[in-house]
Structure 1
């Protein structure tokens, strides 16, 4: 019987449990996109707290990027040495770390699928592959391609947002094409022993017939056939990241989407979205083929949540998803009893 505290392997990566810190915008990089001491301390605290794997905040891959304030960067080779100390500190505690890479736009403008020509898309695919190679050279255990939350890659899946009339728009196989071509290039550059993951929207939940889940299922099946290491199912787009109506579920709200994908593919499926109930996650692990549970806000409130669960399974997550953590100058929970370290 599978348990949440199993030691498992995803490709070449060993995890000491099934809990993953999902990528979170921390607003803790410096003005050049390099990790501050504060961010290194945050990641080391998560590792000490017992998490099975850490996925970094979204990391930009181009110079002059559009994005959120104080995002990490891996835009050129000069960034490679800046991550080595951080990775070493995380690895010291037996925890793998994966860099999430993303593209939003350039020069203050968010890019949409119709903004780039086919030649520019091929250039961007090479940019993703370059970033993956840099992450590998820096010592990360893998990269995660961010294809969720309304960002550039996510928009290709939505039939209402992807207005292309060439081979990258229209039918489902076309809407998935750029992600698949880019993945193939990334894999060819980093080899089979380096972790490659994707975080992908199962729905934008803004319009009823955006056909996002249709594209998600197709893309996940294709990526599984290509031997991607792991797929994290997420959802929501825009500033509020709308999720399915709370009427059906209060916890693990994307469970039906993730379970359906997991049933269809061999690749391990991770699920994010209101995962806070240990008993429920244990039941989902037993009754579905979902393999891992990703969390963001609960770890902002309690970085040692996994250790607390391991020692006291009756412990309830203190996070109420109030989003007060996103209203600070940096992403931190104002209700934590132990303050964040503020030195940079």
Structure 2
């Protein structure tokens, strides 16, 4: 995940793609990936008020001046000029991704970041064309997709990551999500990744807090992703707790979900997909402890060597 504007790094150690100086280095990186006959899609994001990094040293935009429920950061309400600038940043950075050899781009509209907040009535109190009803709250996303398409063309894959719900009162709802996904399909999105993480105490963790010791607790957003997939023709990607190949096979065979996202399991086992491909279908070794995040770089605690 890369940040899109020079003055908006939401997390320490996070990489950016906000000017052309990144292209050569990222091209070297994607060339190495392509040697393994695989594709790589770049995820880009504007974090907004969901941050505690250098908060007093930069302007942080939001749909409205509503304090973040966890971090307590109150952003500056984005002007229409700010919104246009943000949209153009996403578009310019998508073109940079294409020039850098990435095989597509995904813009992040989930997990409480700024586009997620525009979708949420809790954070979005605007009364202009970017607020109030769901069509307006999603307008920035629809306009971003159009701007990205103008830059990269129709043949470069453009994806989105979106919550199916925010799990908070006056938040983004499942019905809102289905509406936005249908509109994105009409507007030419290539694939939609369904998530549900917002970094909030009221988040629905009824399954996630139990851990993933039992098969029924895995792939915990599948019910909602499957319902959305039934109403779309574009591919739907399921993220969250995907740990067992047999369960994912079952989901593929019994729903319209076509793809799966994994992150933490690959930190524990970088060769997991090759292991499954070689016939060892046993469950991923990841125990979903959530301790892989580190300011020095994400890594599995079971694989870390001592650091000075």
Q: How does 1:227-266 map to 2 (within 5 A)?
A: 227-238=188-199, 242-246=203-207, 249-266=216-233
SS at match of 2:293: helix
SS at match of 2:108: strand
Q: Name which of structure 1's ranges 110-119 and 139-148 shifts more when overlaid on structure 2.
A: 110-119
From 107, 111, 130, the equivalent of 2:61 is 111
Displacement after TM superposition at 1:279 (Å): 1.1
Separation in structure 1 between the aligned mates of residue 298 and residue 202 of structure 2, nearest angstrom = 16
Q: How does 1:102-141 map to 2 (within 5 A)?
A: 102-105=45-48, 107-114=57-64, 115-141=77-103
Structure number with greater CO (CA < 8 Å, separation at least 6) is: 1
Task: Answer whether contact 2:110 2:198 (CA < 8 A) is retained.
Answer: yes
Q: How does 1:57-136 map to 2 (within 5 A)?
A: 58-105=1-48, 107-114=57-64, 115-136=77-98
Distance 1:241 1:187, change over 3 A: farther
Distance 1:335 1:198, change over 3 A: same
- What's the counterpart of residue 297 of structure 2? 330
Task: Answer whether contact 2:244 2:283 (CA < 8 A) is retained.
Answer: yes
Long gaps (5+) in structure 1: 1-57
Separation in structure 2 between the aligned mates of residue 241 and residue 302 of structure 1, nearest angstrom = 31
- What's the counterpart of residue 166 of structure 2? 204
- What's the counterpart of residue 306 of structure 1? 273
Distance 1:241 1:147, change over 3 A: farther
Displacement after TM superposition at 1:170 (Å): 1.0
- What's the counterpart of residue 184 of structure 1? 146
SS at match of 1:144: strand
Displacement after TM superposition at 1:129 (Å): 0.6
Task: Answer whether contact 1:297 1:319 (CA < 8 A) is retained.
Answer: yes
Give deviations 1:289-332, integer Å, cap 9, x for gaps: 00001011111100111111122343221001011212573211
Task: Answer whether contact 1:325 1:333 (CA < 8 A) is retained.
Answer: yes
Q: Which structure features the higher share of strand residues?
A: 1
Q: Name which of structure 1's ranges 307-316 and 160-169 shifts more when overlaid on structure 2.
A: 307-316
TM-score, scaled relative to structure 2: 0.86
Long gaps (5+) in structure 2: 49-54, 65-76
Displacement after TM superposition at 1:245 (Å): 1.5
Displacement after TM superposition at 1:244 (Å): 4.2
Alpha-carbon RMSD across the aligned residues, in angstroms, is: 2.1
- What's the counterpart of residue 156 of structure 2? 194
- What's the counterpart of residue 153 of structure 1? 115
Task: Answer whether contact 2:4 2:17 (CA < 8 A) is retained.
Answer: yes
Separation in structure 2 between the aligned mates of residue 60 and residue 241 of structure 1, nearest angstrom = 27
TM-score, scaled relative to structure 1: 0.77
- What's the counterpart of residue 72 of structure 2? none
